[in-house]
Amino acid sequence: MDQAYAEIASALENYFDGFYTGDTDQLRGIFHANCHLFTAADGPLQDDDMEAVYTRVEGREPPAKRSDSRHDRILSIDMSGPESALAKVQIAIGPKLYTDYLSMLKIDGGWRIISKTYTHVMLAAARAEAAE
C-alpha cells in the first residue's frame, strides 16, 4: 500500500495547490464531479455541490495573490483497500485553518475526492494554541 499512499499524497498536491492559487481546473482534476462538501461549522448543515464550490473559489482572491503563508499538511491517510481511502488534511484559506476529511476512491486509474466534510478554526487561535 506504500505506492497507493504515495499516489494519494501526490493527488492531494493538486488539492492544496488548487485552493492556494484559486485554480478551479486543477481542483476539477482531484474532485469527482458528483462530490459534495459538508459542514456544520457555522450552524446548520451546509451541503455544497462542486459548481457552488468552484464559483466560490473563482469569486475570491486566492491566497497566492496575497502571498499568504501555506499551512497545507496531510494529517493521515487511512486505506481500507487498494481503491478506497480517507485522508485527513489541513489547509488555510484567509484567516481560517480548515480540517478536512476527504473520502477518496481510485477511479479510472486516478484518485478522486468523492466527499468532503470539514470544519475550521481561526488560524491565529490555532497558532497560539500550538505555541503553548
Give 60's DSSP letter.
S
Would you kindly state where each structural domain of the chain is located, as residue ranges?
A: 2-131
CATH of the domain spanning 2-131: 3.10.450.50
Complete DSSP assignment for 16-49: HHHHHHT-HHHHHTTEEEEEEEEE-TTSS-EEEE
- pTM here? 0.93
Asked if residue 38 lies in contact with residue 50, where contact means CB atoms within 8 angstroms, the answer is no
Average pLDDT per consecutive 10 residues, the chain (132 residues; last block may be shorter) = 88 97 97 97 94 97 95 95 95 95 96 97 82 74
